[in-house]
Chains A and B, each alone.
Chain A
Amino acid sequence: MLSKDELSEIQEEEFSPKEEKLKSKIRRFFSKINAIFKIITAFLAPFFARINAIKAFIGKRPWLVLVILFGILVLFIVLFLFVRIGDEPHELLHRSLTLAAILLVAICVGYSTVVFQTVTGARILTPAVLGFENIYLFLRTFMLFAFAGSIAFLETNEGNFVISFVAMVIFSLLIFLPLLTKGSKGVYILLLVGIILSTLFASLTSFMQWLIDPERFMTIQADMFASFTQPDILLMIISGGIAALGIGFAPSARKLDVISLGRENAISLGVNHKIAGLRILITVAALVAVSTIVVGTVMFLGLIAANLAYQFIKSYKHIYTIPAAILVGAIALVVGQFFMREVFTININIAIIINFFGGIYFIFLLLRSRKKEK
């Protein structure tokens, strides 16, 4: 829309009467639109006021947000399970298995992202952005590359998973513990280290895959791309156990609240920050390993889940933010999977959709944090 100044400028430049008439017509048109707009906003004002009142009401009651999110999730779960279910006897079982995998991944991603962001004190960092998933895939490939053929246990999917999980915990502690616990290094340094590591391990992985026997490679290839279509029951049970173990390792929600005040304040309030950082890293490593083996890499899911959770829950308390992040992640996955099946019908990768929206959201968060700094 042109502003008044711009319009008058144009008028001064060109003086033909025909155009003059047109310009005034345009001006009248715009003023009419403006009037209509004003009437509409005046009409809607009470509604907006009511929405704001509802917002304020909910803002003071974080549990209400959890209830609403849970309701939405249940609604979509019902849709997901029962819409256009055929006569095939195994269809419901198959869908429930997929659903179980989705929920497991949502728990892992939501939990690990929130606790990781608490210890780093940065809301644009997630384990995935820092390359945890790539490290995990590298370790899996490396296990196959180096030991397969000689140790039969590693040939099985489960065996490989357990061993690479242990390696993953050790590896991430070696790399990230010094960065997290020795005072504040700054978000951008961490981000930079993460991007470098993530690229490095991704390249190493593809290099080894190039050397590896193609048949063996098939066993890990499925991990690299998100897919809920063929969940393996035994694997799900093992990974569910590891996820539970990992969450058990994390500091309590109240301790996490204190840690979110920053390293120094946490120490002053009697929290052993080093041990807490260690425990959080073990949790994150376990949960990332589980989510990667169950679904593959979904880089931006954690980012969307955690940040939307913070926006909905106007509280710093982890007892609310962690469940909210899990619920948001679950809703995103169930909805995504549902639409993929019902609307697109072709079997495209869900990671593509989530990464597309997640990537845009990531850029939005970066821009907003820069604005805040100014």
Chain B
Amino acid sequence: MAKHPTPLLDQLESGPWPSFVSDLKALAEHRAQTASKIEYQIPVEVVEDIMGLLELSYKDGTTHWKHGGIVGVFGYGGGVIGRYCDQPEKFPGVAHFHTMRVAQPGGKFYKTEYLRQLCDLWDFRGSGITNMHGSTGDIIFLGTTTPQLEEIFYELTHKLNQDLGGSGSNLRTPSDCIGQARCEWACYDTQDLCYQLTMDYQDELHRPAFPYKMKFKFDGCPNGCVASIARADFSFIGTWRDDIKIDQEAVQAYIGGELKPNAGEHSGRDWGKFDIQKEVIRLCPTQCMWMEGKKLMIDNKECNRCMHCLNVMPRALRIGDDRGLSILVGAKAPILDGAQMGSLLVPFIKAEPPYEEIKEIIEKIWDWWMEEGKNRERLGELIKRQGFQKLLEVSGIQPDPRHVKEPRSNPYIFWKEEEVEGGWTRDINEFRKHHLR
């Protein structure tokens, strides 16, 4: 018999999609059954109480979590988010229900042995409820009590060789796409760059020194599977600057129908015979492709690497060999001044260990943001407030037409005095000699 009836949540058990309610119920039952055998370090009824509390929110149409709460592990300013329920008497099992962010491995690859160690730890010292994964990328441990925080951190670091992730005004846990591990389009090793920067910036990740949050995300190509361009203060997007490699026989195989376009991703409908003119050449945003007889031609200098033709014909077209990445900066969600997409700062940079050139750019911009950024001002907002020119100035990057979609349509240029011949100091009396009052 469940501790709290949950008639509303129960309705989320039907339907085909995996039901988190069914999953939670199974865990609640499991904890109750094993309570006599395991010395659970937080209340056994934690799962029943979280369901009871969620049911109450479903009834009330509002949350029942108090605002914040400063808890953490000694010496870190992030990685733990304090959470207290506003109905602790009814739901004592979730009176404290803190989140711990556990830094995820690159590409979110796991060995089961490690996952089981995480489960053992979290069953014993926490709720057994996780997010796989949180939005930033971390493994989320959802719900434990204050006394367990140090214990969990101790076991993570001593037994699992594993650290916490970032939260608050820190570098947030960087995250990456699957990259070269299993993708032919990855233009650099997203997992290696992500890991190296994560390790090099551990201090920034654990000890808040920034005006606000700072996110790094690593996309191997312009397809953007980790959405870095929409949500990272620094987005690192793989690209190349030489020629797309063409296998003309494979092109013919697509035209002839032996190969399925878009790697077979459109199998649910009959779209008719593949038409390279209609499906590739005419959809090319720069119109830089054409057929010469049976040969597909690409004017690579005019290509903007949108990926469409490669996506449609992965066996015929491959990314170039002169590979690196573009850096875009300042993306963020709407809070406060509206959403921003990342703006292109570095069109091309090589991505090779130890990545010193990339780090140099990051650190110059951090210095500026830490000096000039207001409390809770994201990098993108600072760029808007002080101007893209300022960003170029602090990062030592030369202006380039690639930095803009179009040049400005107003002439209100903030000329600098040193740019104007003779400077701004003039003699009004000299002027009046030739121009009477």
Q: Do A and B come from one complex?
A: no
Which residues from chain A sit less than 8 Å from chain B, CB to CB?
none
Which residues from chain B sit less than 8 Å from chain A, CB to CB?
none
